């Protein structure tokens, strides 16, 4: 059984406020959205991104979990 490179810390985290995150090699918008319990669209909107490209070493905003606009419960 493999636990993956993230180990036990790979479980989704619920954020109560936006955080800054330094992009690591191999990170994708999808993997970050899953890790921080948000959406690709919310991350892109928080950073004014027009493409899905992430550059290692870049600092981006991760919005608070569930803070995406238009998501009604």
CA distances to 2, 3, 9, 23, 68 from 54, rounded to whole Å, are: 27, 25, 22, 7, 20
Residue 51's contacts (CB-CB under 8 Å, 6 or more residues apart) are: none
Residue 25's contacts (CB-CB under 8 Å, 6 or more residues apart) are: 56
pLDDT in tens, 21-73: 999 999 999 999 999 999 999 999 999 999 999 999 999 999 998 644 444 43
**Tokens encoding 68:** 């995406």
Residue 3 has pLDDT above 50, yes or no: no
pLDDT tier, 4 (very low <50, low <70, confident <90, very high otherwise): very low
* C-beta of residue 29 within 8 angstroms of C-beta of residue 43: yes
pTM exceeding 0.85: no
């Amino acid at each position: 059984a493999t636990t993956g490179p993230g180990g036990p810390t790979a479980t989704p985290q619920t954020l109560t406020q936006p955080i800054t995150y330094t992009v690591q090699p191999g990170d994708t918008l999808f993997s970050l959205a899953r890790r921080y319990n948000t959406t690709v669209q919310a991350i892109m909107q928080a950073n004014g991104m027009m493409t899905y490209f992430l550059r290692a070493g870049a600092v981006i905003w991760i919005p608070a979990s569930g803070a995406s606009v238009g998501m009604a419960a």
